[in-house]
Amino acid sequence: MDSLPTVLIVDDVPENLRILNDVIASLDCQVAVATSGERALELLNRTQPCLVLLDVMMGGIDGFETCRRIRLLEQHKELPVIFVTALADDISLGFEVGGNDFISKPFRVDEVRVRVQHQLEKYRLLQELRELTITLEDKVHERTADLNLLNRNLRKEVNERRYMQDRLKYLAQHDFVTQLYNRDALDEHVTHLISDLPTQPANAPLSYFALLDINEFRLINDSCGCIAGDELLHQLAELLAEQIDPKRDFCARMSGDKFVVVLDNGGAEAVASFFRLFNQALEAFTFVWDERQFRISVTQVALPLTQQISSFEQLVMLADEVCYACKKSGVKTRVIKDADDMEFKEHRGNLNWGLRIIDGLEKDLFEVHFQQVCSLTQSRSKKKIEILVRLKDEVNGGLIYPNDFIRAAERFGIISKIDRWVIQHTMRELSKRTQLWEDIDQVAINISALSVRQANFSGFIIEQLEKYQLDGSKFCFEITETEALNNFNDTRNFMSLLHEQGCTIALDDFGTGFSSFAYLMDLPFDLIKIDGIFIKDMHQNEIHFGMVDSIVKLAKMLKKPVVAEFVENQTIVDLLKSLGVEWGQGYHFHKPEKL
């Protein structure tokens, strides 16, 4: 490739385009820019890029769908694609749809440069290999008088081809930072072990999948820079490699700050021995950078490969779930002995919920229900409703309530998919039911923290309003108080963008977090919704009554109306009226029904 390589940057945020353009231009590359997935597909044949930097969240088709369509094009099947995302949970899906690598937001210039150079080198080697292959095929068919000279030249070129094939295979199977095997190689190895499980003797020792998660990696990477983070990964990889038997064990960097060691046919004893040796080495290890010293800790979990494990992705999700539970409970090391382990079954249950949610989205098993919100101060008032989501049980046809599946949806990063489904289907139904839409003065919809953090989520809402031609002033989006304050800047930006469309914002579950009065004064919200845990027994619990009284007084100071959830009897209604609460919601007024 004599001309400068072209890198196609696909992003709908001007600031991201500017940063990425500056980095790519410094690498002696030509830059092409597309602000949508559709535009990127149009530019492929015109610009013939050697690499695509693809943002995940965009208007129109998202990055995942864009990548799928690229892979359907014969001439671009091998074109490297690097996803650009702020969410760690997008990484697995990115690899599934054909991505080659990922870059995290906010951008770190050194990380972008290294990852782009790595993919360009791979692509260059692949192109050179293809050109050599074509040249060899032509020369094999050429007739020449000097057979000795021809054979010597061919041998030389074959050797070059073999070297490039070996180099390309190495790059495809190894992580360039640690030189360990990468996720693709790990997937292939584990899948092979899983396929062999039915042929293993019943008394054979189990193979184990050991996941090691570096607890301090984010601190070091963010405070000292990605070069320091890469050096930490490199040193820990060397430390890890010293504790395993390369003839038996398989060591890989799975993603980010996670390593995996697969111990073949060693049983729980081999895992315990490995963890003991690794922890001894880790205790003696100190990471030094710019004269600063860091002590490193690692959360370690190990799961057996049993016949209950059906795929590599299932195993990874299950190991990640166990690791997450260990971090929450402060447990440093956890070894699952066998499939009968009760905690193992519990984590499998969480995983199964995650898979059920994915199936529910794919099979359209979710339903939108609504419940009326009634005025406590006016006999005839505006009609308000809150949208509620339910999941249909495929087995018995019953309904599954959010308390059963929301935690799993948040845990596996798919809660925003549910939010998008609910918003789209609510607006679609309301656009069809014109009489109901005219009768309703406000529709409340709950939004998760993960959705609020997504840069393009407010754009999605605005897009749906325009698509179904609905008045934004009739919608109220509810955000939990704790998450609003934990992600203050994202929340304020989200609120401001929706306010421009006339939408209303409510702070939901108010009173369960640790509110800062100064923050509340700065957030552009419109009403407060008191958490039902204080409402449902306030006529019997003096402390809860006092909490409600305090929240109402705070709301009046802020000049915000109040909605009370879980109103279940007239006694509670009378107490709320005496405190000056404007709105009530609960079974006392209306049981939820399908929209």
- CATH 3.40.50.2300 boundaries in the chain: 6-173
Question: How would residue 516 be classed by pLDDT, with cut points 50, 70 and 90?
Answer: very low
> CATH says 363-594 is which class?
alpha beta
What is the DSSP code (8-state) at residue 493? H
Tens of pLDDT, residue by residue over 293-338, are 888 889 999 998 888 777 888 788 888 878 887 877 777 888 877 6
Residue 471: the pLDDT is: 93
> Per-residue pLDDT for 38 more than 90?
yes
User: In this model, does residue 587 exceed pLDDT 50?
Assistant: yes
Q: In terms of Cα–Cα distance, which of 287, 158, 155, 278 is closest to 219?
A: 287
Angle between helices 217-224 and 226-241 (to 10 degrees): 140
Pick the CATH number of 6-173 from 1.10.3720.10, 3.10.580.10, 3.40.50.2300, 3.40.50.720: 3.40.50.2300
DSSP 8-state symbol, 562: E
**Kind of pairing, strands 366-375 and 384-392?**
antiparallel
Assess contact for 220 and 287: CB atoms under 8 A. yes
Regarding predicted confidence, which is higher, 266 or 2?
266
Between 231 and 317, the more confident residue is 231
Instruction: Give residue 529's region: left, alpha or beta (phi > 0; psi -120 to 50).
Output: beta
Backbone angles phi, psi at 496, to 5 degrees: -65, -45
CB contact set of 162 (below 8 Å; sequence gap of 6+): none
Q: What confidence tens digit (pLDDT) does each residue in 92-113 have? A: 888 888 888 888 888 888 888 8
Q: Are 572 and 578 in contact (CB under 8 A)?
A: no
Q: What is the pLDDT of residues 144-173, one digit of tens each?
A: 556 666 667 777 777 777 777 766 776 778
pLDDT > 90 fraction of the chain, expressed in percent and rounded: 21
Domain with CATH 3.20.20.450 in the chain: 363-594
Q: Does 355 score more than 80 pLDDT?
A: no
pLDDT tens sequence across 257-300: 899 999 887 788 888 889 999 999 999 998 998 888 888 889 99
Residues 448, 483: Cα–Cα separation, whole Å: 8
In 3D space, the residue among 212, 255, 291 whose CA is nearest the CA of residue 90 turns out to be 255
Q: Residue 297 is inside which H or E element, if any?
A: none
Q: Tens of pLDDT along 442-480?
A: 999 998 878 888 878 899 999 999 999 999 999 999 887
The angle that helices 342-362 and 402-411 make with each other, rounded to 10 degrees, is 90
- pTM, 2 dp: 0.48
Residue intervals of the chain classified under CATH 3.30.70.270 are 183-340
Beta bridge partners, 551, equal none
* Structure confidence at residue 51 as a pLDDT band (50, 70, 90): very high
Can you tell me the distance from the alpha carbon of 73 to that of 67, in angstroms, rounded to the nearest whole number? 10
Q: How many CA atoms lie within 13 A of 148 on its CB side?
A: 0
pLDDT at 145: 55
Looking at domain 183-340, its CATH class is alpha beta
- For the stretch 163-212, pLDDT in tens is 777 667 767 788 888 888 999 889 999 999 888 888 877 777 888 999 99
Pairing of strands 81-85, 101-104: parallel
Closest CA to 15 of 61, 84, 65: 84
Nearest-CA neighbor of 508 among 523, 489, 493, 490? 523
Instruction: Label residues 432-466 b or e (16+ Cβ within 10 Å = b).
Output: eeeeebeebebbbbbbbbbbbbbbbbbebbbebbe
